[in-house]
Amino acid sequence: MFFFTADEHHGHNNIIKHLERPFKNIKEMEEELIKRHNEVVTKRDTVIHSGDFCIRNKQYTQAIIKRLNGTHVFLKGNHDYWLERKAITIWEKNINKNYIVVCHYCMRT
């Protein structure tokens, strides 16, 4: 199964206030996001994260990823400092005869 998500904003202190997320602090938010993810996603699933997964460094981010079920594809968003500059920004795939295009940024067709 494929799952698509975006803007998790792990490690982003200001996102709680900015988006009025119902958490007291980053630790509480991280734990709840991981818990909710793992309640839905199995180890056999693929998750496409379409940008702004984590604002922190690679070590911090890898510690979170290790706790998440599934195989992961990360698209670079404007807050993904942990990804290399040349990281992918668009993901395309045919799934059940449907052509899927995923990108963090708005696209015009």
pLDDT > 70? residue 17:
yes
Which among 60, 75, 79, 72 has a CA at the least distance from the CA of 15?
Answer: 79
Q: What's phi and psi for 87, nearest 5 deg?
A: -60, 155
pTM over 0.85: yes
- As a whole number, mean pLDDT of residues 76-104 equals 94
Domains parsed from the chain with CATH numbers: 2-103 (3.60.21.10)
Mean pLDDT for the chain overall? 94
Number of residues assigned to the chain: 109
C-beta of residue 92 within 8 angstroms of C-beta of residue 99: yes
> For residues 102 and 76, what is the distance between their CA atoms, to the nearest angstrom?
11
Residue 38 — pLDDT band, cuts 50, 70, 90? very high
